[in-house]
Structure 1
C-alpha cells in the first residue's frame, strides 16, 4: 500500500492485518473467470453449491461479480488508512491443477485468471504457510507461487525448497531519517516470517525440505521451534528493521488460547519479534499486549464462502475484523490498535452495525480475561484498544 509518511505519523508505522482470505471454491465461482467447480467433499461435489447456500441465506448474488466485489467496504477502509504494510493469510491454492490432496475432506482453489481479485486489495504480503496452499499437490503449489509472483504479490511461508519457504517477505517502509548532507541509508523494512503448525490441520509431509517444495512447518510450538525462528530473525534483521511472525495454528472454533501458544508467542517477542500475527480460527480470538508488543492469537476469517453453513452460530463468524496497528518506528512498541468490524453478506464485506461491534467487544473482552487488553467501541464503530 505504500508508506503514509505524513507529519503526524512520521514516527509511527501503520500495519493492517487480517486472518484467512479464502478466494477459492464458491468465491471463485462468482468471479469473472471461475475455475473447475468439481469438489471431493463428502457432501458437496460442486463449488457452485456454496454460492447457492449463501443466496439461500442472504439473497441473490450478482454473477459475474467484479474483481473487487469480495472485498466490499474493506477497500475504502484501506484507502483511508493508507497503511505502510498490509498482511493477510491467503488460505487457498491458486491453480488449475486437479489431483485433490489425499487425506483431506476440504480443498480450496481459485483460478489463476482471478488473481486480479486478490491484487485489487494490494496486499504487501500474502502468507502461505497454512493448511490449504497444497490442496492440489506440489504442482498446485508451484502454479500458486508462479501466479502470485507474476502478479507482483509478495509471499511468505512457502517455496520451492526449505530456504525459500523460511525466507521472510521484505516490505520497504520508508527511508530512515538522517541529518542534512548525510549519505542515504537503506530503507526501513518490515520482515514477515511465516510458519504453520500441525494443530491447524497441516499434514506433516507438506513441510519444505532442502530438495522438496512445501511450507515452513514447525512440528510444535516448542521452545526449540521458537529458538529456531529467533535465530532466523536475528540473521535476517538489519538495524532499523521491524520483524513480524505470522503463525497458522490451532483449531477452527473456540476462544481458549492454549498455554503452549502463549509461551511460544512470548518466546518470539522475547527474541525480538515486534508483533505476532496468528490465524486459523474462523472467528476472532483474544489478543494480548506483551512487553509492549501486539500478539493476535487468532484474527478470524476475512473472506470465505461459509455464509450458508450452520452449526456454529454462537461464534458469529459472519463478523470479520481488519486490525490496524500503529507501531513506534524505532522500537516497534504498540502505540495504538483499531479493529474495524465488517459483516459478510452475499459474498462481500459491509461495515458492521454498532450493535455487532458491541457484540464483538463483549466476546473478546469476556474470553480474553487472562490478558490485559481492554477494548472499547469508538464513535466510528471501530473497536479500540484503550489501555494495556
Structure 2
C-alpha cells in the first residue's frame, strides 16, 4: 500500500483524477526560546486528518482479505541520515495501530533508523537501490547548486568516479530488507547489507567484507541517535532485528 508525503502540486489523486495516494503534511516553525528573538526554530509536522483517516480506512479494508499488510510511505527528509520528521512517527504508529504489519519507508536517498513498535518493524528509509542518474550534463545547473547549498554535506553532485550515481558516499550504503512470515504474522525481520559500486549497482556483501560491519554499525548508530531502543545482531548472511525487545 503506497502513500506519498513528497508531492509536487497536482500529483495527488482526487475523486476524478489519477495520482498518488496523498499523506499531506503541515509544517510549523516556532521560535524555540519565546523570550529571545532570533533563537533557533523548532519544527513540527502533522498529517492532514483527512489523509490519515483515508489511510486507516485502506488498511482496515486490506486487513480483511490479507494476512500481512505492508505500508510503503514516500516520506522523510532527504540526504540527511539519522534525522526523522515528526509526521513519520504519526503515520507509522497510526498504520500499525490500525492493523499494518510492516512499514517500509523510502525517498530519502540514504538509510534511515529502524524502529520496533508493538513488536512490528518500521524501516524509516531503505536507502537507494536502483538509481541510474547521468549528471555530467547538469553538473553546473542552478537547480543542482541550490540543492548543494541546502544540503552542503550530503547533497547530490557529479562525481566522475561514480558517473551514474551522483550521491554522497554515505548514500552508497544500502540494504535489502528481509522478513519471515508465518501464520499471518511477521515472525522475523532483518536486512542484508549492500553497497553501491562505481557502476551504480547494488552489491550484496558477505559477512567477512569490512563494508558489511560498516553498514551494520551505521544503522545501529543512526537508530540509537534518534532514541530508538532496537537490538540487532549478526546472524548468517545478514542482520536480525529483535522484535521482542523494548517498544520505541
Q: TM-score, normalised by structure 2?
A: 0.68
Corresponding position of 1:204: 9
Match of 1:323 in 2: 177
Report whether the alignment pairs 1:373 with 2:230.
yes
1:250 counterpart = 2:76: yes
> Within 1, Cα distance between the matches of 2:166 and 2:223?
25
Q: Distance in 1 between matches of 2:48 and 2:167?
A: 36
Quick one: distance in 1 between partners of 2:20 and 2:236? 42
Structure 2 residues not aligned, in runs of 5+: 26-45, 134-161
Q: How does 1:35-184 map to 2 (within 5 A)?
A: none
- Alignment match, 1:237: 63
Which runs of 4 or more aligned residues in structure 1 lie more than 4 Å from their structure 2 counterparts after TM superposition?
Answer: none
Deviation at 1:310, TM superposition (A): 5.5
CA RMSD of superposed structures (Å): 2.2
- How far apart, in 1, do the equivalents of 2:219 and 2:229 lie? 12
Residues 297-327 of structure 1: per-residue CA shift (max 9 Å, x gap): 10111111253356622x2x22221111123
Higher relative contact order (CA 8 A, sep 6+): 1
User: What residue is the counterpart of 1:350 in the other structure?
Assistant: 203
CA distance, structure 1, for counterparts of residue 204 and residue 66 of structure 2: 36
Partner of 1:110: none
Q: Give SS of 1:281's match.
A: coil
C-alpha separation in 1, matches of 2:241 and 2:56: 28
Unpaired segments ≥5 residues, structure 1: 1-192
1:253-302 per-residue CA deviation (whole Å, 9 max, x = no partner) reads 12211222112211111111111111011121111110011111101111
1:17-61 deviations in whole A, cap 9, x for unaligned? Answer: xxxxxxxxxxxxxxxxxxxxxxxxxxxxxxxxxxxxxxxxxxxxx
Secondary structure in 2 aligned to 1:340? Answer: strand
